[in-house]
Amino acid sequence: MLLRIRHETRLKYSVPVSETVFEARMAPLSDEDQTALGYRLRIDPPAPVTAYRDGFGNRVELFNIAIPYQELAIEAISYVRTHRRPGEARLASVPWDAERPVPTEALDYLRASRLVDRSEALEAFVATLPLPGGSLADVVRTLKAAVRDRLTYEKAVTSASTRLSEALALGDRLLLMQEGRIRQAGSPAEVFARPADPALAALLGVENVMKVRVLGREHGLVRVRAGSSELWAPDPGDLGDWAYACIRGEGVGLEADAGSPRSARNRLPARVVALEPRGALARVSLDCGFPLEATATAWACEDLGLAPGGRLVASIKATAIHLVPIG
């Protein structure tokens, strides 16, 4: 896997300082699990840098800022290709013993995650697990098998930010009710992907629900007009002249170049209206001839240089658009 890693340290002082000496250890090492391909250090205010290796083989960059300043920014960008040995081979030789110090190889598997939250469903799941024993590889295999038996993956039901308690609480069938009446029933994947009406779509977190005009049909697809743009979507077979189009934010791709071919049927010139960071993700508001909300990673936003007023291409696969009849 090729990784781009950006690390920034920013220091602010209440009064100007000068004659400060810093040592930065930001450059990744090359070893049996990874190869460092590139590295760049940026300092603001700029200063001459002297690089050397410490006793552990780390690259150290020493610099002295002599001029007065109140804010210092240190940015390191690295490119690393990982080629780790298979996890099972590394863990098979590590014994599991809860009474002994945790082996270094086990740290990646025991590190706390904010997505693994305590709940009654988690306690019930843990109660079904056998006591850990054997090697660390045996423990990991047992846990993976238990998770595989307990959870069934269905596309679009969970995301990278779904907490474990939510995943364990999901059932095999989902019912949406309003005023005592069942409005929609089906598997979680079916209900989340194809809400029955705009109100349910909004309830299920669909960011884009818009009224569209049906223009024509071709090869199982429907051509519709949204604002001043046209879209293609699968034909549900029961549409009149008007419909609602439902598009999830994660179904919208963002591209800088309009010239290269893509598999997405719908590729629309767009203008960035607003950008709202949300941790590792960001909500991007677009004008594509109609208002469109997209969800992108913070990394993608940085690589594309997204900012209000910027231009790009929004791509939407036809299968990412769900049409709901009106009337």
Q: Is the pLDDT of residue 90 over 80?
A: no
Distance CA 139, CA 103 (A): 14
Q: Is the pLDDT of residue 259 over 70?
A: no
In this prediction, residue 327 has a pLDDT band, given cuts at 50, 70 and 90, of low
Give the pLDDT confidence score for residue 26 in this predicted structure: 93
- Summary mean pLDDT of the chain: 85
Q: Is the pLDDT of residue 44 over 80?
A: yes
Query: Taking residues 106-128, what's their average pLDDT?
Result: 78
Distance CA 13, CA 326 (A): 60
In this prediction, residue 70 has a pLDDT band, given cuts at 50, 70 and 90, of very high
Q: Is the pLDDT of residue 6 over 80?
A: yes
Per residue in 159-168, pLDDT tens?
A: 778 888 888 7
DSSP state of 197: S
Rama region for 155: left / alpha / beta (φ>0; ψ in -120 to 50; rest)? beta
Residues 6+ apart with CB under 8 A from 140: 87, 88, 91, 109
Does the predicted model carry a pTM greater than 0.85?
A: no
Give the pLDDT confidence score for residue 156 in this predicted structure: 67
Upstream peptide bond of 48 is cis (omega within 30 degrees of 0): no
Total Cβ atoms within 10 A of residue 247: 24
Per residue in 177-189, pLDDT tens?
A: 777 788 888 877 7
Higher pLDDT, 85 or 234: 234
Q: Is the pLDDT of residue 1 over 90?
A: no
Query: Taking residues 42-51, what's their average pLDDT?
Result: 94
Per residue in 115-125, pLDDT tens?
A: 888 887 788 77
